[in-house]
Amino acid sequence: MPPRIVQSEQNARLKELRKALASPGRNGRGLAGIEGANLVEEALRSGLRVPCVFAARGFENLLERLPLPRQTEVLLAPRRLLDSALTTQTPQPLAALVEPPDWTWAHLLERRRKVAPLVVVLAGLQDPGNLGAILRSAEAFGAGGVVSLPGTVSAWNPKAVRASAGSVFRLPLITASAEDCFARLREAELRIWTTTVRGAEPADLMDLAAPVALIFGNESNGVPPEVAAMADGAVTISCPGSVESLNAAAAASVLLYEAARQRRGKQRGRSPGHRGGAR
């Protein structure tokens, strides 16, 4: 579709972008706004539908590297006009409206390549940067997906999208109540472990190669007590140093790596708690 020039802040698509970036929905319904050439390209390569792309005048060359479908609407706007719709301190000259994937529990709990399901549950996580980093680690270490419980920031918050480096486009993500979440996980025969700083079994002594779900909570207060009480048990990360605990994103990365390590060991015929050195 040939580019169209936008000159007014009242342009319907520009207003839609502004709203999508300022007030992203928790469940990903409706269109989401993303900013930057790398993220737009990643969304396209991940197979997302991209109804509209915005470029600042003078930066039309950025559109050349994008595999845009013919039906994608392309709007060119003065830099100041596009900047007014964006949320970053240093706005980029390219943005887009994308349609979030429509994930289901079947996607989340799919038993692929005979690997036991590994699910991340977020309970009251508030920092979008932490959430995005967790999505990236979850994809990197082979998790089947993420469940977002009430009180958790939207995964389509612009900061979360940037921190995920595109993982939010590909990793199955479900929004659910704690009751529905736990019922579905137990129906799929997953063990559910809440995370805590102390008074729990160290991760390297637990069987994380089995079908498991790991719960991560609020940055300040951890997993809400009423959610933790619904879990089958608790897991912790042994910290031999003087630091008492890790932030949510770091803790998730460590536990997801440990789960991936145990799963590799199980495939090679070693016990989940094997402490052999790195290869």
Domain boundary assignment for the chain: 4-99, 105-267
Sheet holding 118-123, edge to edge: 173-175, 145-148, 118-123, 212-217, 191-195, 233-236, 201-202
Report residue 277's pLDDT band, with 50, 70 and 90 as the boundaries.
very low
pLDDT at 278: 32
**Nearest Cα residue to 134 out of 110, 104, 116, 159:** 159
Q: What is the pTM of this model?
A: 0.91
Q: How many Å is the maximal CA-CA distance in the chain?
A: 64
Regarding beta strands 32-35 and 73-77, do their DSSP bridges make them parallel or antiparallel, or are they unpaired? unpaired
**pLDDT at residue 236 tops 50:** yes
CATH T-level fold of 4-99? 60s Ribosomal Protein L30; Chain: A; (3.30.1330)
pLDDT tens-place string over residues 164-197: 999 999 999 999 999 999 999 999 999 999 999 8
Domain 105-267 top-level CATH class: alpha beta
> Mean pLDDT, to the nearest integer, of 243-254?
88
**pLDDT at residue 244 tops 90:** no
Q: Which residue has the tokens 């005048």?
A: 57
Cβ distance 52 to 12 under 8 Å? no
Dihedrals φ, ψ of 213, to 5°? -125, 135
pLDDT tens-place string over residues 64-114: 989 999 999 999 999 999 999 998 889 999 999 999 999 999 999 986 657
